[in-house]
Amino acid sequence: DVQLLESGGGLVQPGGSLRLSCEASGFTFSSYAMSWVRQAPGKGLEWVSGIRGSGVSSTYADSVKGRFTISRDNSKNTLDLQMNSLRAEDTAFYYCAKERYSSTSAPFDSWGQGTLVTVSS
């Protein structure tokens, strides 16, 4: 069974930094693109960033470009999201999600349970 387990969430002050991690198991991690998707409390889903299986190519939503960095370690089956210059509007549950197949419009067929990031003074 595919399992995705996020960690690293917490309370951080505006302007601060936080690093999220996602530990993957149950599939050949390096073969699949991965993304981070967030959801502000009581709001809808927002794609944040994605990275190809090789780790060579990554993309970002305009709302986080220049502040967030996605990375992966295929030897450890982990996906990370380094978040800098955090703002109140970054407060959300952050989900790690696996793409079902390799395509620009691929669906996310497995999701972690989410980790909550709260940006507040």
Helices (H) and strands (E) in the chain, counts: 0, 11
Q: Which of 10, 15, 26, 107 binds another protein (CB under 8 A)?
A: 107
Residues near 26 by beta carbon (within 8 Å), at least 6 away in sequence: 1, 2, 3
Segment near another protein (CB under 8 A); pick from 8-16, 24-32, 56-64, 78-86:
56-64
Select the residue interacting with another protein from 19, 76, 87, 100 (CB under 8 A). Answer: 100
Q: Does 45 bind another protein (CB under 8 A)?
A: yes
With binding defined as CB under 8 A, does residue 111 bind another protein?
yes
Question: Does 2 engage in binding with another protein (CB under 8 A)?
Answer: no
CB atoms near residue 81 (< 10 Å): 26
**Encoding tokens for residue 101?**
């197949």
Burial group, residue 46, by CB count within 10 angstroms (0-12, 13-18, 19+)? middle
Using the minimum distance from each CB to another protein, give the nearer residue, 73 or 109: 109
Among 22, 50, 80, 83, binds another protein (CB under 8 A): 50
Interface with another protein includes 69 (CB under 8 A)?
no
